[in-house]
């Protein structure tokens, strides 16, 4: 699916999403799950063709008959990694089970809100005037929080320009996608004067201890994304002082149940949390919006309207209303692909009987 605008991060430029969707069919109901792995292993080790392979060869064949989402987790635990693939499978099974039970994902997870505030993640662009136009457009649409992607050479200047043009009141944060090292601490401290909500994943994925060192050098709160692949990682990062905010992305941590565990952990420790995104279609977005409605999600998520990503989404589009997205209330994730639109973008289908 082509993106409406190229999305540049410190690790590369996405111009389309190659989406793997899982559809689980049981005698009682059907369920959908989206795999957020990208085409190439640049954000993490996973990539979409690898996810399809591990699902086909290992994960799907390991499912017990009549599995619920908890049983899926137990059945998949022996297989290391591949969390995005596992999340898609868990989500599809969960959706089918909740549809059969007539229960929404939000109610199942413990959502306490009927809408969630919408943030937007803005990629690296060619010039500061272009960036200011993009930010202005999203603020006009009602986004309540702006996130700027940064990398060495595109950090202090764009942040300063956005602050100068839009003021100190705009909730603003940055995401480095692991582009810096601890040697850059002095440079990153130059961001302190701009009153950012947080800096997301400044250092490498496996540098949790270094993030704790960096935290002593910055006043900007550190938020971890890539470093946190499980509730255990989150507990370690919190107790080391490596972060004071956590980006919770279900795909990165192996599922919605694990995402909820991390939410609970953050809440118990008074650590701020928000729901991250991976340029999802309406399928993954619906589930993320339900998750983000839990009470511990204290900051706006990377949850934007469908049209920020795609001209035509495969579900009825999510739309901003007064800076918020509405939590679906129907059974399961509450949305389904529109068959004709899905057909148009489908490049391959594979049926795997159990
Ligand atoms: O680091 O949060 C990230 C998209 C792809 C890969 C990594 C990230 C992102 C985003 C997009 O920032 C967030 C969204 O879905 O709007
Ligand atoms: Mg990130």
Over residues 236-273, the pLDDT tens digits come to 999 999 999 999 999 999 999 999 999 999 999 999 99
Do the Cβ atoms of 176 and 200 come closer than 8 Å?
yes
Does the structure show a pLDDT above 90 at 350?
yes
Candidates 203, 353, 223, 349; CA nearest to 297 is 223
Q: Which ligand is nearest to the CA of 275?
A: 1
Does the structure show a pLDDT above 90 at 351?
yes
Does the structure show a pLDDT above 90 at 282?
yes
Task: Give the pLDDT confidence score for residue 65 in this predicted structure.
Answer: 85
- As assigned by CATH, the class of the 2-102 domain is alpha beta
Nearest residue (CA) to ligand 1, atom 8: 278
Does the structure show a pLDDT above 90 at 67?
no
Kindly list the protein residues whose Cβ atom lies closer than 6 A to any atom of ligand 1: 43, 121, 175, 177, 225, 276-279, 302, 304
* 191 CA to centre of ligand 1 in angstroms: 21
Q: Which ligand is nearest to the CA of 122?
A: 1
Question: CA-CA distance, 324 to 114, in Å (whole number)?
Answer: 10
What average pLDDT does the segment 171-195 reach?
98
Q: Which ligand is nearest to the CA of 200?
A: 2
- b/e for 112-146, b at 16 or more Cβ within 10 A? eeeebbbbbbbbbbeeeeebbebbeebeebebbbb
* 112 CA to centre of ligand 1 in angstroms: 25
Task: Give the pLDDT confidence score for residue 266 in this predicted structure.
Answer: 98
Do the Cβ atoms of 68 and 81 come closer than 8 Å?
no
Q: Which residue has the tokens 């993490």?
A: 44
User: Which one of the listed residues 80, 86, 147, 249 is annotated catalytic?
Assistant: 249
Q: Report domain extents, the chain.
A: 2-102, 108-326
Q: Is 149 a catalytic residue?
A: yes
* 278 CA to centre of ligand 2 in angstroms: 9
Over residues 35-50, the pLDDT tens digits come to 999 999 999 999 999 9
Does the structure show a pLDDT above 90 at 66?
no
Q: Are strands 324-326 and 115-117 parallel, antiparallel or unpaired?
A: antiparallel
Does the structure show a pLDDT above 90 at 114?
yes
User: Which one of the listed residues 86, 147, 149, 151 is annotated catalytic?
Assistant: 149
Task: Give the pLDDT confidence score for residue 38 in this predicted structure.
Answer: 98
Over residues 195-239, the pLDDT tens digits come to 999 999 999 999 999 999 999 999 999 999 999 999 999 999 999
Does the structure show a pLDDT above 90 at 319?
yes
Residue to mutate (ligand 1; options 39, 224, 276, 285; most atoms within 8 A of CB)? 276
Candidates 207, 239, 206, 201; CA nearest to 220 is 201
* 175 CA to centre of ligand 2 in angstroms: 6
Q: Is 249 a catalytic residue?
A: yes
**Torsion sign, CA atoms 325, 330, 333, 336:** negative
For the chain, give the percent of residues with pLDDT over 70. Answer: 100
Nearest residue (CA) to ligand 1, atom 13: 277
Task: Give the pLDDT confidence score for residue 342 in this predicted structure.
Answer: 98
Q: What are phi and psi of 246, to 5 degrees?
A: -125, 130
What average pLDDT does the segment 155-171 reach?
98
What average pLDDT does the segment 292-296 reach?
98
Task: Give the pLDDT confidence score for residue 329 in this predicted structure.
Answer: 97
Decide if 2-102 and 108-326 have a common fold: no
* 66 CA to centre of ligand 1 in angstroms: 34
Question: CA-CA distance, 86 to 156, in Å (whole number)?
Answer: 38
Does the structure show a pLDDT above 90 at 275?
yes
Residue to mutate (ligand 1; options 12, 121, 246; most atoms within 8 A of CB)? 121
Which atom of ligand 1 lies nearest, measured to the CA of 304?
A: 16
* Mean pLDDT estimate for the chain: 97
Which atom of ligand 1 lies nearest, measured to the CA of 226?
A: 1
* 99 CA to centre of ligand 2 in angstroms: 31
Nearest residue (CA) to ligand 1, atom 6: 278
Q: Which residue has the tokens 């100190």?
A: 168
**If one looks up domain 108-326 in CATH, what number appears?**
3.20.20.120
DSSP 276-306: ---S--HHHHHHHHHHHTSTTB-S-BS---G
Nearest residue (CA) to ligand 1, atom 9: 278
Residue to mutate (ligand 1; options 279, 292, 299, 300; most atoms within 8 A of CB)? 279
């Amino acid at each position: 699916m082509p993106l409406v605008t190229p999305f540049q991060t410190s690790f590369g430029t996405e111009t389309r999403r190659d989406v793997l969707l899982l559809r689980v069919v049981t005698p009682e109901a059907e369920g959908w799950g989206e795999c957020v792995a990208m085409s190439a292993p640049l954000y993490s080790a996973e990539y979409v063709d690898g996810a399809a392979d591990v699902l086909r060869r290992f994960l799907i064949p390991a499912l017990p008959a009549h599995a619920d989402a908890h049983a899926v987790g137990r059945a998949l635990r022996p297989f290391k990694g591949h969390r995005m693939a596992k999340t898609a499978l868990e989500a599809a099974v969960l959706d089918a089970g909740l549809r059969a039970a007539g229960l929404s994902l939000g109610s199942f997870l413990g959502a306490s809100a009927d809408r969630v505030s919408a943030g937007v993640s803005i990629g690296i662009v060619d010039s500061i005037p272009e960036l200011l136009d993009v930010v202005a457009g999203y603020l006009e649409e009602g986004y309540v929080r702006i996130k700027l992607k940064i990398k060495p050479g595109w950090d202090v200047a764009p942040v300063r320009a956005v602050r100068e043009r839009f003021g100190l009141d705009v909730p603003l944060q940055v995401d480095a996608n692991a582009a810096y090292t601890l040697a850059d601490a002095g440079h990153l401290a130059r961001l302190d004067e701009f009153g950012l909500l947080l800096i997301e994943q400044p250092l490498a994925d496996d540098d949790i201890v270094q993030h704790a060192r960096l935290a002593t050098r910055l006043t900007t709160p550190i938020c971890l994304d890539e470093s946190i692949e499980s509730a255990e990682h989150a507990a370690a990062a919190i107790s080391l002082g490596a972060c004071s905010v956590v980006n919770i992305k279900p795909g990165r941590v192996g599922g919605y149940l694990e995402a909820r565990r991390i939410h609970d952990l953050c809440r118990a420790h008074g650590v701020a949390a928000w729901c991250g995104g991976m340029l999802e279609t309406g399928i993954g977005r619906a589930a993320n919006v339900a998750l983000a409605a839990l009470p511990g999600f204290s900051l706006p998520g990377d949850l934007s309207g469908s049209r920020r990503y795609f001209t035509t989404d495969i579900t009825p589009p999510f739309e901003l209303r007064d800076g918020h997205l509405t939590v679906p209330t129907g059974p399961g994730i509450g949305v389904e692909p529109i068959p004709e639109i899905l057909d148009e973008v489908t490049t391959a289908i594979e049926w795997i009987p159990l």
